[in-house]
A and B are shown apart, each in its own frame.
Chain A
Amino acid sequence: MQYISNKNKILKKLIFFILFFTSSCFAEDLRININSGQVDPLPIAIADFTGEKGKASETGRLISQVISNNLVSSGQFKAVDSAAFIAPPTSPSVRPNFTDWSPLGIKALITGSIKNVDDQQIEIEFRLWDVIAETDLIGLRLSVNSKAWRRVAHIISDEIFERLSGDSGYFDTRIVYIAESGPQDKRLKRLAIMDQDGENHQYLTDGSFLVLTPRFSPTTQEITYLAYFKNEPRVYIFNLETGQQELLGSFPGMTFAPRFSPTGDKIIMSLATKGVTDIYTMNLNNQKVTRLTNSVSIDTSPSFSPNGKKVIFNSDRGGSQQIYIMDNNGNNVKRISFGKGRYATPVWAPKGELIAFTKMLKNKFFIGVMAPDGSGERLLAEGYLVEGPTWAPNGRVLMYFKQEAPKDNGKSSSVNLYKIDITGFRETRILTPSDGSDPAWSPLLPN
């Protein structure tokens, strides 16, 4: 009997636990779905980096300024004016009083410090705080040459950008472009390079010969560009690390820019032979040229997909200039643009989800994006002449050049570089010493 009663007790306990756990497993929680929000700039405070004894040093102030400019130019952040700060800047090792920052609408706070290690080396430390959640999100310490403080500011900007947006940063990058100066009839065009924010500007050529359409290698610190030497187009590769340039070859019929393949071992270009312009690739290892298209129409401005399997280009084979897609061997050519107007200079985004292009419609130029199948066309920028889009390495920002309408009977017309975020809400002009055109964005610089 006792055995039975014990057995019953065990059974009852077992039933109890089964019921309890199953009930807790199937217990329904209240769920509220939030399916919309604002793709708005995030209010951020960048406190001056403190120096010795907690005071902000001049370099610290400059670093915070560069970070601020970088983040604001991305269109994803709104820097709160430091004049509105209630609390003084603190060391990154000190937890800030968040109640000093949250009333200003600040969502994220950056604090940092700078310390001289020796005459040349500096140690920069920073921390990113979530003011609302009252927690730190990231903290880093960097030791660099004191002359490289600007680059450190870009690296810090990249870290903050990535932590708050999820996307890789693009601030520690460079832009190569054609610097233009002089009157329209005697235009001096030089190859120039600068940081993505326009700083550290340098000329790479002296202007003794015309240069066009520079392009960055996706894998190395090399630039390919087109130069007219004695009226003959030549393709060069310029190594930024060594300063040396290499002649790839002369291409009498070259009509448009050579562009690197994703692996960097090939360039793709269009060549005009016997009145027919087609697309070719050149293997940089053995300089073997392969023809991809073979039509009587004009096929130009080719660009590889990020995986290298597809090529987009523009062609007038359908009667008007439109964008086409094909396999990397020239097969399966298919038109993807069907909107009104003419389409040109298609460039595949680094992530592959979008294609940037130039559109011409009713005497106006536009910079736009579309999906690789031609759907979802969006026009981001417009102007008298906007052309030559190039992608930032994270695929979130586009740079292009914009020419103003000619003044003084066509004698003067300024050309400038602009960048715009992919949402199309923030267009920023890049300040250059002279006019600029044909920009090309570098990949992230190696550390």
Chain B
Amino acid sequence: MVKSTFISFSLHVLFIIIAYYGLPLSKINDPIEQPIDIVEDINIGSQTSLKLGNLDKKQPSKNKKIDSKNPTKKNIIPPPPPTPPGQKIRDNKNLELKKKKEVEKVAQLIKKKPKLKIKKIKESQPPVVVSKPEKKIKDQKMQLAKGILKTLTKSQPISEETKKEKQKKSNKDVLKTIRQIVGNSNVRVAKTEIRLSITDINKIQNHVKKFWKVSYGASEVKMIITLKINTNTDGTVNSVNFFDKSLYIKDKFYRATADAARRAVFDSSPLPLPKGKEKKFENFLFDFDTSFINSY
């Protein structure tokens, strides 16, 4: 009870923190989401800077697509060369596929293949993106190594970019940290969600059954007797409390049978708790059902 309350409490606190700090961040989230694309563009641009002139004319349509997505950013950032080497590969592959289509007669199967390839390309992009900042840093280092003036002359746009990059990075870091927090909390929740097997429960049930000595009068008890149990990790019972204390005072059959149930719990201590799942039994309930006595 306490444990589950604590888990739910901590989860809700986390949720509230996210909600609390996330609300102002969500305003920044819009630009944060955009820089991811921009970073890609920049990286691609930095890689393909030498081929800009060649690819500018070839890729107006793709730039337009990017413009439609991020019109403002594109104005700030020099026109990026979106897909220089990849585009060629794609074109080549498309050509190859076209050839294959002509050669192969099974059109449907061939149609599926390019889709799969496109997916693969998309999947293969992220590692490229990851490697790009390193290359960029290397380029920057190379530029810095060439001379201070060069760096100074190019420092202004670079500094603006770096500021933006820093902002973007910081945003990205915030996102990452949030994701990490959320991710970690999920992991923590997953760790605390100890699942009990039927055999785990049966083992305890069979153990306690042996100690529950009831009188025939318990057949008069029409309700299930619930006891709140607190145990140590070694299975020893710390405390047993009656769930329905008012009925315990009022009903003499309930009282006598509840006492017998309490004796059974204390008598069965230590309980055979499943290994690694002891925390689950720190606080739990036993439902003692007297209906079996009617079969006597």
Q: Are B209 and A30 in contact (CB under 8 A)?
A: no
Main SS at interface, chain B: helix
B175 beta carbon closer than 8 Å to chain A: no
Docked complex Cα distance between A20 and B13 (Å): 8
Q: Are B215 and A164 in contact (CB under 8 A)?
A: yes
Q: Are B263 and A33 in contact (CB under 8 A)?
A: no
Docked complex Cα distance between A38 and B296 (Å): 10
Contact pattern, A 10-26, Cβ under 8 Å of B = 1, otherwise 0? 00100110011001100
Q: Are A166 and B220 in contact (CB under 8 A)?
A: yes
A81 beta carbon closer than 8 Å to chain B: no
- List residues 184-240 of chain B with CB under 8 A from any CB of chain A: 196, 201, 204-205, 208-210, 212-218, 220-221, 224, 226, 240
A29-B285 in contact given A24-B9, A34-B208, A165-B256 (Cβ < 8 Å): yes
Chain A residues positioned under 8 Å from B168 (CB to CB): none
Which residue, A31, A166, A421, has most C-beta atoms of chain B within 10 A? A166
Q: Are A35 and B218 in contact (CB under 8 A)?
A: no
Docked complex Cα distance between A37 and B218 (Å): 11
A133-B205 in contact given A37-B212, A37-B214 (Cβ < 8 Å): no
Instruction: Tell me the total A-B contact number using a CB cutoff of 8 A.
Output: 146
A40 beta carbon closer than 8 Å to chain B: yes
Q: Are B213 and A166 in contact (CB under 8 A)?
A: no
Q: Are A76 and B215 in contact (CB under 8 A)?
A: yes
Interface size grouping (class) on chain A? 35 or more
A107 beta carbon closer than 8 Å to chain B: yes
Chain A residues positioned under 8 Å from B263 (CB to CB): 107, 130, 132-133
Q: Are A23 and B217 in contact (CB under 8 A)?
A: no
Q: Are B16 and A32 in contact (CB under 8 A)?
A: no
Q: Are A165 and B201 in contact (CB under 8 A)?
A: no
Residue of A nearest to B290 (CB): A37
Docked complex Cα distance between A167 and B272 (Å): 33
Docked complex Cα distance between A28 and B12 (Å): 16
Q: Are A396 and B217 in contact (CB under 8 A)?
A: yes
Stretch among B82-90, B95-103, B247-255 lining the A interface: B247-255
Chain B residues positioned under 8 Å from A132 (CB to CB): 262-263, 266-267
Residue of A nearest to B263 (CB): A132
A162 beta carbon closer than 8 Å to chain B: yes
Number of interface residues of B (CB under 8 A): 58
A36-B213 in contact given A24-B8, A163-B256 (Cβ < 8 Å): no
The contact of A38 among B8, B19, B214, B240, by CB within 8 Å, is B214
Chain B residues positioned under 8 Å from A34 (CB to CB): 205, 208-209, 212, 261, 264, 286-289
A20-B9 in contact given A34-B286, A130-B259, A133-B259 (Cβ < 8 Å): yes
Q: Are A33 and B287 in contact (CB under 8 A)?
A: yes
Q: Are A31 and B284 in contact (CB under 8 A)?
A: yes
B1 beta carbon closer than 8 Å to chain A: yes
Chain B residues positioned under 8 Å from A164 (CB to CB): 215, 256, 259-260
Chain B residues positioned under 8 Å from A38 (CB to CB): 209-210, 212-214
Residue of A nearest to B292 (CB): A36
Chain B residues positioned under 8 Å from A15 (CB to CB): 16, 19
- Shortest B197–chain A CB gap in Å is 13
Q: Are A166 and B212 in contact (CB under 8 A)?
A: no
Contact pattern, A 35-47, Cβ under 8 Å of B = 1, otherwise 0? 1111111100000
Q: Are B215 and A166 in contact (CB under 8 A)?
A: yes
- List residues 57-99 of chain A with CB under 8 A from any CB of chain B: 76
Chain A residues positioned under 8 Å from B16 (CB to CB): 12, 15-16, 19
Q: Are A166 and B296 in contact (CB under 8 A)?
A: no
- List residues 149-170 of chain A with CB under 8 A from any CB of chain B: 162-167
Chain A residues positioned under 8 Å from B221 (CB to CB): 166
Chain A residues positioned under 8 Å from B292 (CB to CB): 35-37
- Shortest B267–chain A CB gap in Å is 5
Q: Are B296 and A423 in contact (CB under 8 A)?
A: yes
- Shortest B182–chain A CB gap in Å is 17
Docked complex Cα distance between A15 and B201 (Å): 37
Q: Are B284 and A29 in contact (CB under 8 A)?
A: yes
Docked complex Cα distance between A219 and B12 (Å): 64
Chain B residues positioned under 8 Å from A41 (CB to CB): 213
Docked complex Cα distance between A422 and B213 (Å): 16
Chain A residues positioned under 8 Å from B215 (CB to CB): 39, 42, 76, 164-167
- Shortest B215–chain A CB gap in Å is 4
A137 beta carbon closer than 8 Å to chain B: yes
Contact pattern, A 300-343, Cβ under 8 Å of B = 1, otherwise 0? 00000000000000000000000000000000000000000000
Residue of A nearest to B201 (CB): A32
Q: Are A39 and B293 in contact (CB under 8 A)?
A: yes
Residue of B nearest to A76 (CB): B215
Docked complex Cα distance between A31 and B201 (Å): 9
- Shortest A351–chain B CB gap in Å is 9
Chain B residues positioned under 8 Å from A28 (CB to CB): 4
Docked complex Cα distance between A43 and B273 (Å): 27
Q: Are B289 and A35 in contact (CB under 8 A)?
A: yes
Docked complex Cα distance between A422 and B221 (Å): 17
Residue of B nearest to A74 (CB): B215
B291 beta carbon closer than 8 Å to chain A: yes
- Shortest B29–chain A CB gap in Å is 19
B283 beta carbon closer than 8 Å to chain A: yes
A148 beta carbon closer than 8 Å to chain B: no
Which residue, A31, A35, A41, has most C-beta atoms of chain B within 10 A? A35
Chain B residues positioned under 8 Å from A76 (CB to CB): 215-216
Chain B residues positioned under 8 Å from A30 (CB to CB): 196, 280-281, 284-285
Contact pattern, A 94-113, Cβ under 8 Å of B = 1, otherwise 0? 00000000000001000000
Residue of B nearest to A108 (CB): B263
B257 beta carbon closer than 8 Å to chain A: yes
Residue of A nearest to B240 (CB): A133
Q: Are B216 and A396 in contact (CB under 8 A)?
A: yes
Q: Are A42 and B256 in contact (CB under 8 A)?
A: no
- Shortest B11–chain A CB gap in Å is 8
Q: Are B259 and A32 in contact (CB under 8 A)?
A: no
Docked complex Cα distance between A396 and B216 (Å): 8
A4 beta carbon closer than 8 Å to chain B: no
Residue of B nearest to A163 (CB): B256
The contact of A166 among B8, B12, B256, by CB within 8 Å, is B256
Q: Are B257 and A166 in contact (CB under 8 A)?
A: yes
Q: Are A33 and B220 in contact (CB under 8 A)?
A: no
Q: Are A166 and B253 in contact (CB under 8 A)?
A: yes
Chain B residues positioned under 8 Å from A12 (CB to CB): 16, 19-20
Q: Are B252 and A23 in contact (CB under 8 A)?
A: no
- List residues 408-439 of chain A with CB under 8 A from any CB of chain B: 421-423
Ordered by A's residue number, 9 sampled pairs between the chains whose C-beta atoms are within 8 Å are A30-B196, A32-B285, A38-B210, A39-B216, A130-B262, A165-B216, A166-B220, A166-B255, A421-B216
Binding site for B on A (CB under 8 A): 12, 15-16, 19-20, 23-24, 27-42, 76, 107, 130, 132-133, 137, 162-167, 396, 421-423
